[in-house]
Amino acid sequence: MYDPWYPEDEEVYLDEEYDPEEEEFWPYSEEDTLPPHSPQASTSRYELESGGCFLPMFIAPLLVVVLGSLFAAWVQSVVSVPSAQAARRAEVVAPPAPAPEAPAASASEPEGKEKLAPFFTPSVQYWRKDILRWARQWQIDPNLVATVMQIESCGNPKVVSRAGAIGLFQVMPFHFSADDNPYDPDTNAARGLAYLRRALDAFGQDAHLALAGYNGGIGGVSRGEALWPAETVRYAYWGSGIYAEARQGKKNSARLQEWLNAGGASLCAQAEAAIGK
């Protein structure tokens, strides 16, 4: 048998009795001028053998892709409709999600703390409205403000300590400007609570450390409790205990009573005399 795809000068006859002149193996007419092995000749031969169906062979796969896409879209729509209906039914049947719990209040969050603990002494309760106003202004828990006033002056706006601290919040003179009246309650509160605010921010809203910093200085307290002066240790002990009991909503404070017994009662007697209580 003769293989027509070999070059003419390399004709191979697999059958010795085969006469190439007796069979027409090229699908071209004698007028064809294309070389048998040129790309044009190969394409022409393929087109002739396929009966002119070259174009439909590319259309068929395209139709398969289009029909497949349409079928997939139909299947998805059939599946998604029940899912949407089930989701709507779940919305009706399922109970509403519980509201998230409110975060615990800190010394910097006065919301919900608009009343002072009842155990603060009468001379401190005298300043109740002012304490609430100052607390909102500086974003400090009013019970913490009252605690500082309790152990600093017991509400006496005229008191001066042996170290020279002045007024309700026992502010040192160097915190005031030349135009300030350090005995004015609003001015005294502004200077004292500005420093308390700084202490809270410096110690991550930790009331115990902030109280210690208010007494012993933010820088000194930052060096560690082992280096605190004895006065600062006592101050943090009294203040943090009183404030903790106020936060707990207690009607009586064992730590405040302990402070009064340790000498605070005389300070409060002076305060009551100063404000006429």
Query: How confident is the model over 86-143, as pLDDT tens digits?
Result: 444 444 333 334 333 333 345 554 444 468 999 999 999 999 999 999 999 999 999 9
Q: Taking 50 as the threshold, does the pLDDT of residue 239 lie above it?
A: yes
Whether 162 contacts 148, CB under 8 Å: no
- Top-confidence residue, 33 or 92: 33
What are the distances in angstroms from CA 210 to CA 70, 77, 82, 192, 240? 70, 63, 60, 13, 9
Query: How confident is the model over 35-89, as pLDDT tens digits?
Result: 444 444 444 444 444 445 445 565 766 677 777 777 676 656 554 444 445 444 4
Q: Which two tokens stand for residue 101?
A: 């719990």
Q: Where is 258: in which H helix or E strand?
A: helix 254-259
Q: How is the chain split into domains, by residue range? A: 8-49, 122-275
CA geometry: angle 187, 189, 193, nearest 5 deg: 130
224: which DSSP letter?
-
The set of residues, in sequence order, having a beta carbon less than 8 Å from that of 223 and lying 6+ positions away, is none
**Amino acid 255: pLDDT:** 98
Find the catalytic residue in 152, 231, 245, 258.
152
Rounded to an integer, what distance in angstroms lies between the CA atom of residue 205 and that of residue 108?
A: 7
**Amino acid 232: pLDDT:** 97
**pLDDT above 90: percentage of residues in the chain:** 58
- Top-confidence residue, 198 or 55: 198
Q: Which CATH architecture has domain 122-275?
A: Orthogonal Bundle (1.10)
- If pLDDT is split at 50, 70 and 90, which confidence band does 250 have? very high
β-strand partners of 13:
2
Query: How confident is the model over 164-188, as pLDDT tens digits?
Result: 999 999 999 999 999 999 999 999 9
CA geometry: angle 265, 267, 273, nearest 5 deg: 105
Query: How confident is the model over 202-225, as pLDDT tens digits?
Result: 999 999 999 999 999 999 999 999
261: which DSSP letter?
I
Instruction: Please tell me the pTM assigned to this model.
Output: 0.61
Q: Taking 50 as the threshold, does the pLDDT of residue 197 lie above it?
A: yes
Q: Read off the pLDDT of each residue in 257-269 and give the average, rounded to a whole number.
A: 97
Tell me, yes or no, if 152 is annotated catalytic: yes
